[in-house]
Amino acid sequence: MSQRPTRHRAAAAVMTAALLVPLAACGNDDDGKEDPAASPKGSAGSVPKANLTVLAAASLTNVFKTAGAAYEKAHPGTKITFSFAGSQELVAQVKQGAPADALITADAKSMHGVEGETGTPAVIAKNRLVIATVEGNPKKVDGLKDLGDPRLKVVLAAPEVPAGKYSQKILDAQKITVKPVSQEPNVRAVLSKVELGEADAGLVYKTDADSAPGKVDAVAIPDAQNAIAEYPAAALKGSKNAEAAAAFVAWLSSPEGQKILQDAGFQKP
């Protein structure tokens, strides 16, 4: 008789443990949300669905269309709208309070101009300049020194544009004076002028020239005479989709994002 209470207590303990097992398997999140620690950072299951607006440097136009499609496929329910322009224009938009979620510029200086408006930037890619010429290079442009020929119609990005700053930097270093027929608001506009035959040559990023096969030729610039462009990316603090924006920025540095960028000719960060 003295053992019966002990047996009852043992049976009750077994039943309690059995009830606790499935509860433990469910985790301790009472609101039904997935535990972030249970999913890899940036995975489809851990990133909230959102409609993102991303401000991006004009030289990212082609590659980001590919990257955006890949990201949307991997994250069903997320839609990315890109706004491409010169970095200086993008910075002005952020300062004016334009609704956006992330910013990618073509130089660190532009990003520093809005450091109070962004999270910590991360460089996602690098690039370098080439001389774009009319297809077939009829003017026989061979290098930077040829751009100083007053008979050559040269177009450059405006001085406030990253591509314009890089261009002036390498021209000054070689003591080459260029009087451009026009100075464009972004590097894609420079490329367009050359494509249309409105200029004989222009300084653009390698990836821009690569995006126009059969339309322009690219003359390489030796590393010792060239400049390396960096592309910092950051989520905007004013974003209404902060977590989703940060996830997209992080994805750009992921193996999948990096493969897309490097396949398009961008260099590793």
pLDDT tens string 29-79: 334 333 332 233 445 557 889 999 999 999 999 999 999 999 999 999 999
pLDDT tens string 76-91: 999 999 999 999 999 9
Is residue 81 within 8 Å of residue 249, measured between CB atoms?
no
| DSSP symbol at 140 | -
pTM of the model: 0.81
Cα–Cα distance for residue pair 79/83, rounded to 1 Å: 13
Query: Sorting pLDDT into bands at 50, 70 and 90, what band is 171?
Result: very high
Residue 127 dihedral angles phi and psi, to the nearest 5°: -150, 170
Cα angle 198, 127, 98; round to 5 = 80
Is residue 133 within 8 Å of residue 211, measured between CB atoms?
no
pLDDT tens string 127-170: 999 999 999 999 999 999 999 999 999 999 999 999 999 999 99
Is residue 162 within 8 Å of residue 105, measured between CB atoms?
yes
What does R_g of the chain's alpha carbons equal in angstroms? 27
Cα angle 84, 86, 90; round to 5 = 70
Cα–Cα distance for residue pair 250/136, rounded to 1 Å: 40
**61-74 and 242-252 helices, crossing angle to 10°:** 120
Domains of the chain: 42-126+230-263 (3.40.190.10), 127-228 (3.40.190.10)
